[in-house]
Amino acid sequence: MSYAFFIDTTLCTGCRACQVACKQWHDLPAEETLNRGTHQNPPDLSDRTYKVVRMNEVVIEKKLRWLFFPEQCRHCIEAPCLEAAGEPTAIYRDDATGAILYTAETRHLAADDIIAACPYNVPRKGPDGVLYKCDMCVDRVRNGLQPACVQTCTAGAMHFGERESILAMAEERLATVRKQVPKASLADANDVTVIYLLAFDPMQYHENAIASSEFQGISRHMALRRMIRPFSRAVAGLSG
């Protein structure tokens, strides 16, 4: 089965219920937060925060707008992090769901190279040397449940299901939104499993809302060849 998320940012209210649900389901500790003059907290993804609702205050056509972007791993269809690792005991695709999954064996990979390979700057290294990110809640999905963030979304902004029907839903909603905002788009829809509907310029949401410019206009394989340096294996036992 090929799954996908549809995240309609035009409906997101920035309540962060998804962020909390993700932590709760994965039993992740809270992070100390700080008033930095923004609704966004914590400030970034981390080894303890797999989903963060990014917030930007922008002026568009003389109107102040709050743009919310619930960020997580995109579970890329051709995942550069997986190809960069080249080590299926550390990073692999779960055939039952399409999720790109990281294991504790990522501690043996060159973390900086894996992070650099991600077009969305998602993986984070923990103090134990392991790389962490969203796992699509595969334990829930394999048992017929929705991912915790989707299940919890109070605004009906997040959807999850079979890819074809999710894509159809996204296209239909895009057509509706474009009647009012002609520049609305589906971010990198052909390349990713987590499809965002963005009403405005993606860069106004976050610098990684779409694949970084180094990845645009070239295939992922070309990008990998260009970006990825030879990997060092810190510990023997990982053959490459």
Closest CA to 47 of 106, 130, 147, 149: 130
Smallest separation, CB 163 to ligand SF4 (Å): 15
SS3 51: coil
Nearest to 118 by CA among 129, 130, 132: 132
* Sites for ligand SF4 among residues 149-208 (CB under 6 A): 149
Helices (H), 179-231: 220-227
Q: Which of 52, 111, 122, 199 binds ligand SF4 (CB under 6 A)?
A: 122
Among 16, 55, 67, 80, binds ligand SF4 (CB under 6 A): 80
**Site mask, ligand SF4, residues 35-74, x = CB under 6 A?**
---------------xx--------------------xxx
Q: Which uninterrupted H or E stretch holds 24?
A: helix 17-26
Show the binding pattern over residues 88-107: x = contacts ligand SF4 (CB under 6 A), - = does not: ------------x-------
Task: Closer to ligand SF4 by CB, 56 or 97: give it.
Answer: 97
Burial of 11 per CB tally in 10 Å (0-12, 13-18, 19+): middle
* Residue 16 within binding range of ligand SF4, rule CB under 6 A: no
Select 6 or 120, whichever has its Cβ closest to ligand SF4.
120
State the minimum distance, in angstroms, from the CB of residue 175 to ligand SF4. 26
Contact present, 51 and 157 (Cβ < 8 Å): no
Residues pairing with 71 in the sheet: 52
User: E strands, 22-172, where?
Assistant: 52-60, 63-71, 91-93, 100-102, 124-125, 131-132, 158-162
Stretch near ligand SF4 under the rule CB under 6 A, chosen from 17-25, 33-41, 165-173, 174-182? 17-25
Asked if residue 85 lies in contact with residue 110, where contact means CB atoms within 8 angstroms, the answer is: no
Paired tokens of 198:
């963005």
- Of the two residues 41 and 58, which places its CB atom closer to ligand SF4 in the complex? 41
d(CA 110, CA 117): 11
- Residue placing its CB nearer to ligand SF4 in the complex, 174 or 211: 211
Residues in the site for ligand SF4, rule: CB under 6 A?
21-22, 25, 50-51, 72-76, 79-81, 100, 118, 120, 122-123, 133-137, 147-149
